[in-house]
């Protein structure tokens, strides 16, 4: 399972390797190597963006789940125990759904 950090690190490595290839292609006057380097840099930038997106989705689901759990607890405090418990459990599931499925995002 890959998380946002893994994508960001892999992206950084690809960008660095791509820059090196691009520079070597310029120095050696090798257009193909230069183009491959540019492509690898672009791939790295995409991986970094994907990592950022995964982190934001995970943060959002945690925040939303916490809020829903809070609503469930408030309902229980007001005497609506069954409904409150169900809402609280749903909030917990939402809160942790990105924890288990971060590679499916």
Contact 7, 102 (CB under 8 A): no
Q: Say whether pTM exceeds 0.85.
A: no
Greater confidence (102 vs 68) lies with: 68
Q: What is the DSSP string of the chain?
A: ---HHHHHHHHHHHHHHHHHHHHHHHHHT-HHHHHHHHHHHHHHHHHHHHHHHHHHHHHHHHHHHHHHHHHHHHHHHTT-HHHHHHHHHHHHHHHHHHHH-TTT-
The answer to whether residue 105 is domain-embedded is: no
The answer to whether residue 9 is domain-embedded is: yes
Domain extent for 26: 4-100
Q: What is the pLDDT of residues 35-79, one digit of tens each?
A: 999 999 999 999 999 999 999 988 899 999 999 999 999 999 999
Number of folded domains in the chain?
1
The answer to whether residue 58 is domain-embedded is: yes
């Amino acid at each position: 399972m890959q998380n946002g950090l893994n994508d960001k690190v892999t992206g950084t490595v690809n960008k660095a390797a791509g820059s090196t290839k691009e520079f070597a292609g310029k120095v050696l006057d090798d257009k193909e190597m230069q183009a491959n380097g540019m492509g690898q840099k672009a791939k790295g930038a995409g991986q970094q963006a994907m990592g950022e997106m995964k982190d934001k989705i995970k943060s959002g689901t945690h925040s939303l789940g916490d809020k829903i759990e809070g609503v469930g607890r408030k309902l229980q405090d007001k005497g609506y125990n069954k409904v409150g418990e169900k809402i609280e459990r749903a909030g917990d599931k939402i809160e942790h759904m990105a924890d288990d499925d971060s590679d499916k995002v």
